[in-house]
Amino acid sequence: MNAKRGYVPEDERNFSINALETMKTASRHIFYLINEGYDLKSASVFVGNHFLLSERQRLAIMRSLATREQLENRRAKETTAGGEIWVDGFNMIITLEVLLCDSILFSCMDHTIRDLAALRGTYRIIPETAGAVRMLLDALKENNAESVHVLLDEPVSNSGRLKTLIAETGEDYSFDLDIQIQKDVDRELYGKENVITSDSVILDHCSSWINLTPGCLEKHGGQAIRVWE
């Protein structure tokens, strides 16, 4: 596995200036279809075939788009509140690892930042992991967190090692830190307030959420690509 999280050499071609123009056109077609009731995956296959998009390009579009109803719902639930906070651990840390690796990130319609790391249950600690954990905890401190619950997926490899790293790093922070390894993190976060994630399913099912990653991106001086307009 390449140690540079989220990096694929073909992305220089997949997301070139010319390719992005084609993707923005395709995104307009897909956005129209999903707002007419079509399934996002089916629409991306249909339109992606027409524009001869690669799998990475289609995935980037799928992760970037949402229906008007979803966008309104997510905007209405977005908050900057501190206090008790729930963190989708792998979701956040992997995106921050991708940021620190200077790999490709996407600015999405709902204002979240997403990646294409797609580890699918296989995860290992990389040199950037410690920095990603500290970046997350720094952002939580700046957000006036009082107590933080970090949930990690049990089926993902090395979740125990990551829990230990977060716990050791968390000793330098004043807020209460609770790290849990759960079988189904998504469902644990359904209905919760002050959730930190970019997972679209969780965003649609939580009570409120905090959009932490754009601030981390700005502080790091990173950039995110837009595949829609």
Q: What is the mean pLDDT of residues 129-155?
A: 96
pLDDT at 221 exceeding the cut of 90: yes
Average model confidence (pLDDT) across the chain: 96
Could you give the CA distance from residue 77 to residue 20 in angstroms, rounded to a whole number?
A: 30
Could you give the CA distance from residue 91 to residue 76 in angstroms, rounded to a whole number?
A: 22
Q: What's the pLDDT score for residue 65?
A: 98
pLDDT at 1 exceeding the cut of 50: no
pLDDT digits (tens, 9 = 90+) for 28-66: 999 999 999 999 999 999 999 999 999 999 999 999 999
Q: Is 33 exposed, middle or buried (0-12, 13-18, 19+ CB in 10 A)?
A: middle
pLDDT digits (tens, 9 = 90+) for 76-133: 999 998 899 999 999 999 999 999 999 999 999 999 999 999 777 789 999 999 999 9
Q: Which residues contact 122 (CB under 8 A, 6 or more apart)?
A: 1, 156, 157
Say if residues 125 and 165 touch (Cβ distance below 8 Å): yes
